[in-house]
Amino acid sequence: MEQLVQSFLKRYEKANAYLDVEAIGKLYADTFMFGGSKGVQVVRKEDFLKIVPKMKAHFASLGLSETQLQAVEASAIDAKYLLAKAAWKMTVRHLAGDRRQVDAFSTYILERKQEGTLSIVFHIDHQDLTTLVGGQSDI
C-alpha cells in the first residue's frame, strides 16, 4: 500500500512540476474537500483546474522553483479509503540568487476506485503555503 501511495504522489509531483492540468485532474475526485489555513471548503474539480495555472504562477512569482516528495506514510482507513501523510521539500530561489529549502506537510484521504486507481477526496495543507514560501497570503 505504501508503494501504491508513493507512486500516486510521485505522479502528483510530476504533474505539478510540469503544470500538466489534465494529469492533475486525473488525481482528484470530481468533488473534493480542501483544508488549509482558512478552513475547509468543498471544491469542484472543474473549478480547481481553472485556478491551478494562476496558483502555479503565484508561487513561481514568490520564487518557488521545485517541490519534491520526501516521505510518505500510508494506512488503510477501510477497504475503500486510505490515509496518506506526505512531507514535501520546496526550493525557493530569490532574485539575489540565494536559495533556500522549506518543508511542507500535507495529509490526503484517497479513495480506491474499482479499476485500482486512487483519487484525492480530501487534501489538507498543514501550513499556509504562500506564507511558508515567503509572500503574502491572498489565494
- What pLDDT digit, counting tens, does each position of 6-51 carry? 999 999 999 999 999 999 999 999 999 999 988 999 999 999 999 9
What is the pTM assigned to this prediction? 0.89
Query: Can you list the positions of beta strands (E) in 1-139?
Result: 28-36, 39-44, 64-76, 81-93, 99-112, 118-125
Residue with C-alpha cell 483519487? Answer: 119
* Domain-embedded: residue 55: yes
CA distance 100 to 23: 28
Instruction: Please give the tally of structural domains in the chain.
Output: 1
The CATH number for 46's domain is 3.10.450.50
* Domain-embedded: residue 12: yes
Comparing CA positions, the residue from 89, 58, 48 lying closest to residue 71 is 89
Comparing CA positions, the residue from 9, 21, 26 lying closest to residue 119 is 26
Grid coordinates of 99 = 536559495
